[in-house]
Structure 1
């Protein structure tokens, strides 16, 4: 029979290999207690080896319940098991997702558990999707605005001429035509926003002034019956962006949350500082995106068939929606060198996150 010292000794013999790995490695005994830790366990979970060893895997920060269940099943089935995209509750720094792999090891029910952070990988994949949506909507908007807008004025003029006949039946029909033409024109005007050649200056913006203004608009209008829960970090420095466009971004996101969750929705808006998020812009320059604004609703969440496509033009989950609001968000945020992502929250509802750069970084340049 092997004891924990023998098993740990075998693992220690591979010290150099283990410490070259990016994940956390735990040796778990038959009672689901952590008996040893390797690789990046202390760094990832921000706890010392002494604090981790001897504790239950069920108490592992952020993923204890999931880790305990995976280890127990792997021991029972005597087979390696994997669990992907496990959400940390709460996140650890900028890490929000983890992959876990449990492997039976030796006798007496020992398990080796490896835990791999996935926050940055998932973030980069979603950023690429958002930027692709922003590029596609620009070209499509330019084409449609040109092709549709010209004939609309002719149709509207003809309808107004018909109305002069003062026939009641014709009046009803012409009124319908004019209203529908005006509705289409509004849609085209929205499309033109994407392809507008006008330059928009990005500068230092107090993100809380933007959010306060947006919340006032929401409370006075479409969100009059909603509960808004602002959880702001007042110490955040100015972000790099355009004040008017940031208002449009968060007005769209909050309106989208209200429409998804209903007229009495409970919406939480959080601002926070995230360390360790660096992305490359179109010029290949590394940009830090430490300011995060989260909009979380209590609705049914994002349907499976829409996940990964919400920022595409003309994709909408609500009846009568144009599918342009979130595409507009993607375009504006991209123009401000930021990124926007969305996913279902582990406790329910949809959560949109906007990451923004600091104005001081953009002014001085980043490495």
Structure 2
């Protein structure tokens, strides 16, 4: 995170300068890193901002105005882009501050610290809930279909609990967020008394909990699909592996690097390790761009409603494309006519 962890924590850079003040080579390498960061961070943040803003806005519009949040799945899949949307909207401020300096004042510093951290936690916890929801839909499909209204209410309460929990665990970032003036104004969070607790919380809610949920739930889902006699199971298994691979590839490097660096202060003095933190953090943020693709665009119902939105807005001429879509939709209905397919098709959203 820009202000709570690594790339924006200039206080650690000051530590590097103090420890190696007599070494011109180390000072030079550190200055090269700062120049690299001033270019790399704004570019990555702006890329994630643009694609995350477009993708998550589109998903949110479809779920609110076309799918009407009729099920538990819809509730979670609307909460995820909402969190990611607010998350990416904070990135332009950090991009500007990384290039120049913090010019937005202390109040905005605390507010953006809070918004950034809250929505990070909301996004990861919602991701965990989506994993559990997929397990329930596939493994206990009959029970879910018979109690959809009840599950929807529980989903709304769960989303509210997620936001409240995320706000509570983000309070240290809000309270201790401040504008410092080492050589230029920076918005940062750093408090020795709570830094370890904050790191443990981030690792637990932001990585280990979703990873545990994916391991347990997707193992049950795969077992159920392998026993199902439907052609849809192969597509569902591919999507499962894609979801897990995306999470591991984007989140593991950053969290592993943070965990290693927390074990010793020596890693804070290594410029090469600062590069690793910076690059892996950028990779982790790509999650906000990929979530709309994996959790919405792969869904048949979502694609149908997306096409309705495109036609309502008038972005594309019909030109026979609607006939092609109708044919594809009819084929999907034919393939999913079996009740067994209905209960085992993971992303029939």
TM-score strictly above 0.5:
no
TM-score (norm 2): 0.24
Query: Which has the higher relative contact order, 1 or 2, with Cα contacts under 8 A spaced 6 or more apart?
Result: 2
More helix by share: 2
TM-score (norm 1): 0.24
